[in-house]
Amino acid sequence: MSNKGENSRDNNRDWETSTYAGLMFSLRKYKDRLEEERAYQLNSKPRELDVRIIDKLSDSSDRMDNAIGYFFEKHNIIELKNPREDLNIDVVWKGISYAAQYKSSGYDDTIKKNGVNVIDIDDVTLTFIRVSRPNNLFKEIKARGYEIENKFPGVYYIKGMADIKMQIVVGSELKGDEFRAIRVQKRNASSTDIKEFTVWAESLKSPRDKELAGLIMQISFSENRDTYIELRRYMKMNMMIRELFKEEFDELERDSKKRAEQMAEEQAREMIEDGMPITKIARYTKLSEERIRQLADELEVLV
C-alpha cells in the first residue's frame, strides 16, 4: 500500500473528525438531551454510519433553537463529507440506502425492542454536512424535479427524493456564534471567526473538548495559513495556538521573510538599473549596502 494512499485516508479522517467536532460544538447547548455515536455499525458487515445522534425529543419538548438541530427527530443519521470529496447525487442515494437499512433493521437499541416498524420512518432524519457548497448536486436535484428549501442560512431541506426527512448543511454559509467551530474550517475563513474561536477554545476545561478544538484548528490552520500569519502577534497570547502550531508558525515566518527579501531584491534590481544612489536604495528596500553591491555586480552595473 502506498504512502500516498495512507496520507489521503488520514486527511479524510482528520476532516471527518473536525467536522464532527464542529457539529457537536454547535449543539453543546442541547448536550443533555442528545446521545451521539460515531461509526455506528449498521449490521455485522463492515458498514458504518458516520454519526448517529439520538434526540430524546418528547411531545412536550421544544425543537432546538439551532439551524441544524431544529430538523432532528429521535433517530438522526449524519454523513460528514470532506470538501475535497464529491458530494453528488449517487452519494446522496447511498446515504438514503443507509437510512433505509437503519430504519428496517427491526431493532431499536435505544429502547431494546425488536419488531416490524419498531423504528418509524417519521422518526428518522438524514443530514449531510460539508463545509463547501455542492453546486453541481443542487443543480442535479433541481433538474430531476426534487424540491430544495433553504430553511436557514446554510441549511437546505431536500424534498421528494425519498420518504425520509433529509437536509444538506453547507458549513461555510451557517450564521451565528454556535456555528463558528464549523465556519473556521472553510478556506478563507473570517479572521474574526478565527480569533473568536481560538479565544473560546482557550477557555475550554474538558480534555475531550480541548482535543476536538485542537483538531478543528488544525484543519482551520491548513486552510487559512496566511490569515494565521497575519494574526501571529495576536495569537502569541494564546497558549493552545502556540502549542499546536509552533513549528508551522516558525516555518511560515521563515517563508514570509524569504518572500519579503526576494521582493526587496527585485525592487533593488529595478532601482539599480534606474541609476538610483545606493544609499537611497538601501533606505527604501531595507537591504544592506553590501547586498545591493552584490546585486549590482550580478547586473554588471556600477553603483
Which residue intervals of the chain bear CATH 3.40.1350?
3-187
Which pLDDT score is estimated for 186? 92
Give the mean model confidence (pLDDT) for residues 154-178. 95
Give CA–CA dist 201/221, Å, rounded. 14
| Angle of CA points 238, 254, 217, to nearest 5° | 35
Higher pLDDT, 301 or 54: 54
Higher pLDDT, 127 or 219: 127
Query: By the 8 A CB rule, do 110 and 159 touch?
Result: no
Query: By the 8 A CB rule, do 171 and 154 touch?
Result: yes
Q: Which CATH architecture has domain 3-187?
A: 3-Layer(aba) Sandwich (3.40)
Which pLDDT score is estimated for 259? 80
Give CA–CA dist 85/297, Å, rounded. 52
**For all residues of the chain together, what is the average pLDDT?**
84
Residue 112 burial by CB count (10 A; 0-12/13-18/19+): exposed, middle or buried? Answer: exposed
Which pLDDT score is estimated for 233? 63
Query: By the 8 A CB rule, do 236 and 253 touch?
Result: no
Which pLDDT score is estimated for 8? 44
Query: By the 8 A CB rule, do 83 and 132 touch?
Result: yes
Q: Which cell numbers hold the place of 86? A: 464529491
Query: By the 8 A CB rule, do 46 and 26 touch?
Result: no
The band of 6, judged by pLDDT with boundaries at 50, 70 and 90, is: very low
Give CA–CA dist 222/184, Å, rounded. 11
Give the mean model confidence (pLDDT) for residues 160-167. 94
Give the mean model confidence (pLDDT) for residues 231-244. 62
DSSP characters for 117-159?
TSS-GGGEEEEEEESS--HHHHHHHHHTT-EEEEEETTEEEEE
Q: Which cell numbers hold the place of 253? A: 515566518
Give CA–CA dist 156/85, Å, rounded. 19
Give the mean model confidence (pLDDT) for residues 33-54. 75
The band of 231, judged by pLDDT with boundaries at 50, 70 and 90, is: confident
State yes or no: pLDDT of 54 exceeds 90: yes
State yes or no: pLDDT of 117 exceeds 90: yes
Strands of the sheet containing 75-81, edge to edge, are 34-41, 48-55, 75-81, 124-130, 165-170, 155-159, 147-152
Lowest-confidence segment of 22-36, 39-53, 61-75, 201-215 by average pLDDT: 39-53
State yes or no: pLDDT of 44 exceeds 60: no
Q: What is the pTM of this model?
A: 0.71
